Structures are given as structure tokens and as C-alpha cells.
């Protein structure tokens, strides 16, 4: 089994196949079991399973900001 890819909010991804509008780049707008993406060309939003997105991912164009360690610890303590 391969390593899980760390997707962050505001990542810009390039996928293997273009969107029907012609755009290759997508922005991550939701992170969880499913990943929400917004097309950089037309603004269309889609929701993909993490596994499906990992298969379709070609490269990261821009990485989003690192999550704040304090916020991560607060989230982990809450659960």
C-alpha cells in the first residue's frame, strides 16, 4: 500500500486529464475523506474520493500553507 498524500487547503494541483473547459489546474477547497476541488479555468466544483484523486494527480503546482501545529493539536485533543 502506498503512502497517503498530504493535501492542504489552497493547494493547486495538475491532473492527468483536462477538464472539458480545457483547464488542467484545480484548487483544493475541502479536505477530508473526500477532497473538494475547484477548476482554475471555469470555477466548476467537484468532490472526489481521496483515492481517486491520488490516482489522477500529476503534480502539485503550488502548495498551500502548512497547517498550524497549535490548531492540529487542538483538533486532536477535541476528538
The per-residue pLDDT for range 12-27, each reduced to its tens digit, is: 999 999 999 999 999 9
Which residue intervals of 1-79 are DSSP H helices? 50-56, 69-78
Q: What is the pLDDT of residues 29-73, one digit of tens each?
A: 999 889 999 999 999 999 999 999 999 999 999 998 887 777 667
C-alpha 32/C-alpha 9 separation (Å) is: 10
From the CB of residue 63, how many other CB atoms can be counted at a distance below 10 Å?
13
pLDDT of residue 27: 97
**Distance separating alpha carbons of residues 37 and 10, to the nearest angstrom:** 10
Q: Is 1 helix (H, G, I), strand (E, B) or coil?
A: coil
- Domain boundaries defined on the chain: 12-78
Residue 76: alpha-carbon gap to chain centroid: 21
**Could you tell me the pLDDT band of residue 79, with boundaries at 50, 70 and 90?**
low
Amino acid at each position: 500500500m502506498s503512502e497517503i498524500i498530504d493535501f492542504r487547503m489552497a493547494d493547486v494541483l495538475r491532473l492527468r486529464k483536462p477538464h472539458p473547459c480545457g483547464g488542467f489546474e484545480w484548487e483544493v477547497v475541502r479536505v477530508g475523506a473526500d477532497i473538494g476541488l475547484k477548476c482554475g479555468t471555469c470555477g466548476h466544483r467537484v468532490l472526489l474520493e481521496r483515492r481517486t484523486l491520488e490516482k489522477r494527480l500529476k503534480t502539485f503546482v503550488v502548495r498551500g500553507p502548512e497547517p498550524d501545529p497549535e490548531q492540529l493539536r487542538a483538533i486532536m485533543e477535541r476528538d
